[in-house]
Chain A
């Protein structure tokens, strides 16, 4: 294929071979990439379509928007409703969600075709063929640009089909796609610095989290100028269906281009396989703790666990800090004050906001749980597990170490989030001793559902090791059900598929124990299946 491309001189043509690499990437991603693009477009189309049925008139939408803007519990997550046209309400509901998903899609895509390739050594084969030094990150970025363009185009076509106007749909589509491109550039950069694909993914996804928190603080805390400092805020600032500020699109575009240039330059100057960060040396002898499968599991998981915990602590603090302002920002009119009183007063608003934030914590902790559980799969397919399992280590004991890291680790991570929220909110309310335990418990209330997610990933590992990525697909489905289900008034039976649906909405609502009990039981059952399956099956190497 393309023999003439491969013959060109690599040293003089830093981008030589890029077309072949793009084709290779598209071929390898022929299922995952269309699936991502499809989900993003489907979110836009189905949300528009459902909202048209639920709020058919301008008046009904205006009422809906007034309540949302007044209560503020959703503002932190979605921003305020700026236009009451059908497109405007749809854009409000999906803009941030779609932008975050486009960002994650782009990050995983770019890292998969850059650092991950290098780490597995496959790139050595390519590096020895006439492929320019910059071609590898450039090709990954090219594929990301294609994917995000498809998302932009898809949204701007699909929303008008659902009854929204075209101009706003185009603005929204471009804003989402441009945001994806920005994070693709960022991932290309983290892939140059980190030694491992996990490191590159984590750093870029942590940036998404930080940018999300800045955006949430800006919207919910009433510091809207902060929106200019976060790519997720730019999506909002484009103002699809309201102001349609096209020039704002230049910000993510310029950012993406700048990051891409820096990343490809760095790729050209560093050694293959080396990161710009990370030490090559360490202790000559193993410490006391590194003495068995559990010691090793702890060693392998502790870095990620620390990173996630700090992330949750900081995220929780940001969320807790703005809690007090909820509902106070936009509810100046007497009519809105009346609405607020009807739904339980200011305290209820704050609690609803905190409960919604805990829901987000739960989903993000689910991502930690899936990642930690699937570490077992990575150990297996890389061949490292066989070194241990050829020693006197039982299968169940080995797998249990990783499952424990996922289950206990996600509890720790959630508790860190609750602690951060409790400290920050407590400090502002002069009630640290009251808010800390209350919000730590509220965060831990998410754990049963997270445990089900971890156990689901474990069951895939134990029974269908080649299908473990399905765990991520399941988590995405839970995310979409949770985020879009209530607004789209989805059938309860469909909503019940997600374990997160069954959790008590605390703080605010009363604790309900039965669902907690059977969620934990479900997790236990799945885990038993997982361990039993792994005990019986062949070890499956790449």
Chain B
């Protein structure tokens, strides 16, 4: 492999005074992939991104960005990437158009037609001064400047928090286009539908540590499936005991209806127990994204989910 991964982070640590913001974080983003970067508020996403941009200095661990050191080689790396913060502040006396041009020219400029096309797609009025823009419009300014330059790597930190659904759709198109031309995207977001639509893989972090990483299908696979079965007979002999032995969760039996949740490795035993008892109807539902993330985000976690994930990897 001559071409290293776009982002390689291992054991990254960072503290602010007594606060430990990052505590051994790992992250790997391959070239050309759109990578979702998820975690509850305060998990350390923005801190990680600022370290990647050389705005903060790491306290430990290794960080490689496009094969280089983000602190030492900041300037040359920044020629190849664009960044959109979640909370964009603009110069109060510069217009949006001027800010876009300024940010673009820093990276060596961009074709004027590309700029104008994006301005019209995002429906931005570039003649307004920075102080007159709403949160969403300030974000559009940063997004247009980022997409217009067609950089190799896009680092987006909750870039759509202020956008309306229409503009959000434009944003998704732009990310998809960037993906098509081979750009790498690191996208921190709380909007799960956006993540599901755009991201090849995701990394989930909590309290400064990586909890899990993989494709959404893989992550789903690791989570419990909800099973509802109608049995042939009411109160089948010993079905409750057999299911419990197989390791199901939240088991309820009401007459001939059995409901439970099963971990992936318990699935086979559960199905066998059910078919032995005689099944009239069976539905199984994979976890919704919300369920998946609530499980990951919840502060107090039994520990199983994480151990399994580690074991599978």
Interface residues of A (CB under 8 A from B): 119, 195-196, 273, 279-287, 290-293, 295-296, 299-300, 303, 382-384, 386-395, 536-539
Q: How far is the CB of A166 from chain B (nearest CB, A)?
A: 50
Most A C-beta atoms less than 10 A away, residue of B88, B92, B97:
B92
B91 touches A284 (CB 8 A): no
B106 touches A538 (CB 8 A): no
Q: Please report whether the interface of chain B is mostly helix, strand, loop or mixed according to DSSP.
A: mixed
> Once the chains are docked, how many angstroms separate the CA of A383 from the CA of B91?
10
Q: Give every chain A residue within 8 A of B57 (Cβ-Cβ).
A: 536-538
- Between A and B, how many residue pairs show CB distances below 8 Å? 116
Whether B102 is near chain A, meaning CB under 8 Å from some CB there, is yes
B91 touches A195 (CB 8 A): no
> Once the chains are docked, how many angstroms separate the CA of A295 from the CA of B99?
12
Q: Which residue of B55, B75, B81 is within 8 Å of A386 (Cβ)?
A: B55
* Given A384-B90, A539-B50: 7 more A-B contacts, CB < 8 Å: A280-B129, A283-B127, A284-B97, A292-B105, A303-B93, A390-B78, A392-B79
B55 touches A283 (CB 8 A): no
B94 touches A195 (CB 8 A): no
Q: How far is the CB of B49 from chain A (nearest CB, A)?
A: 9
Most A C-beta atoms less than 10 A away, residue of B56, B90, B131:
B131
> Once the chains are docked, how many angstroms separate the CA of A303 from the CA of B91?
14
B106 touches A393 (CB 8 A): yes
> Once the chains are docked, how many angstroms separate the CA of A296 from the CA of B126?
18
Q: A384-B91, A394-B75, A539-B56 are in contact. Are A280 and B128 (CB under 8 A)?
A: yes
Q: Give every chain B residue within 8 A of A393 (Cβ-Cβ).
A: 75, 78, 106
Q: How far is the CB of B149 from chain A (nearest CB, A)?
A: 10
Please list the 6 inter-chain residue pairs (A to B) with the smallest Cβ-Cβ separation, ordered nearest first.
A286-B101, A390-B83, A391-B106, A282-B95, A286-B98, A539-B55
Q: Which residue of B88, B106, B126 is within 8 Å of A284 (Cβ)?
A: B126
A285 touches B106 (CB 8 A): no
B170-203 residues at the A interface, CB under 8 angstroms: none
A283 touches B95 (CB 8 A): yes
Whether B132 is near chain A, meaning CB under 8 Å from some CB there, is yes
Most B C-beta atoms less than 10 A away, residue of A119, A285, A287, A383:
A285
Look across to chain A and name the residue whose beta carbon is closest to the beta carbon of B100. A286
B85 touches A386 (CB 8 A): yes
B103 touches A281 (CB 8 A): no
Most A C-beta atoms less than 10 A away, residue of B79, B87, B129:
B129
Q: Give every chain B residue within 8 A of A395 (Cβ-Cβ).
A: 74
Whether B76 is near chain A, meaning CB under 8 Å from some CB there, is yes
A281 touches B129 (CB 8 A): yes
- Taken residue by residue from 54 to 93, chain B's Cβ proximity to chain A (1 for < 8 Å, 0 otherwise) reads as 1111000000000000000011101101110101111111
Look across to chain A and name the residue whose beta carbon is closest to the beta carbon of B16. A538
- Taken residue by residue from 129 to 172, chain B's Cβ proximity to chain A (1 for < 8 Å, 0 otherwise) reads as 10110000000001000000000000100000000000000000
Q: How far is the CB of B134 from chain A (nearest CB, A)?
A: 11
> Once the chains are docked, how many angstroms separate the CA of A214 from the CA of B268?
93
Q: Give every chain B residue within 8 A of A390 (Cβ-Cβ).
A: 53, 55, 78, 81-83, 155
> Once the chains are docked, how many angstroms separate the CA of A119 from the CA of B130?
12
B55 touches A391 (CB 8 A): no
Q: Give every chain B residue within 8 A of A287 (Cβ-Cβ).
A: 98
> Once the chains are docked, how many angstroms separate the CA of A387 from the CA of B100?
11
B127 touches A282 (CB 8 A): yes
Whether B28 is near chain A, meaning CB under 8 Å from some CB there, is no
Q: How far is the CB of B153 from chain A (nearest CB, A)?
A: 11
Q: How far is the CB of B108 from chain A (nearest CB, A)?
A: 8
> Once the chains are docked, how many angstroms separate the CA of A382 from the CA of B95?
17
A283 touches B76 (CB 8 A): no
Q: Which residue of B85, B93, B105 is within 8 Å of A387 (Cβ)?
A: B85
Q: How far is the CB of A540 from chain B (nearest CB, A)?
A: 9
> Once the chains are docked, how many angstroms separate the CA of A163 from the CA of B27?
72
Whether B306 is near chain A, meaning CB under 8 Å from some CB there, is no
Q: Give every chain A residue within 8 A of B55 (Cβ-Cβ).
A: 386, 389-390, 538-539
Q: Give every chain A residue within 8 A of B103 (Cβ-Cβ).
A: 387-388, 391
B106 touches A290 (CB 8 A): no
Q: Give every chain A residue within 8 A of B54 (Cβ-Cβ).
A: 389
> Once the chains are docked, how many angstroms separate the CA of A536 from the CA of B56?
9
A281 touches B85 (CB 8 A): no
Q: How far is the CB of A298 from chain B (nearest CB, A)?
A: 12
Q: How far is the CB of B268 from chain A (nearest CB, A)?
A: 50
A387 touches B142 (CB 8 A): yes
> Once the chains are docked, how many angstroms separate the CA of A399 from the CA of B101?
21
Q: How far is the CB of B208 from chain A (nearest CB, A)?
A: 16
Whether B31 is near chain A, meaning CB under 8 Å from some CB there, is no
> Once the chains are docked, how many angstroms separate the CA of A438 from the CA of B131?
44
Whether B107 is near chain A, meaning CB under 8 Å from some CB there, is yes
B92 touches A392 (CB 8 A): no
Q: A387-B85, A390-B78 are in contact. Are A280 and B132 (CB under 8 A)?
A: yes
Q: Give every chain B residue within 8 A of A300 (Cβ-Cβ).
A: 91, 93
Q: Which residue of A273, A280, A283, A291 is within 8 Å of B105 (Cβ)?
A: A291
Q: Which residue of A281, A285, A382, A536 is within 8 Å of B101 (Cβ)?
A: A285
Look across to chain B and name the residue whose beta carbon is closest to the beta carbon of A536. B57
> Once the chains are docked, how many angstroms separate the CA of A285 from the CA of B100?
8
Q: Give every chain A residue within 8 A of B100 (Cβ-Cβ).
A: 286
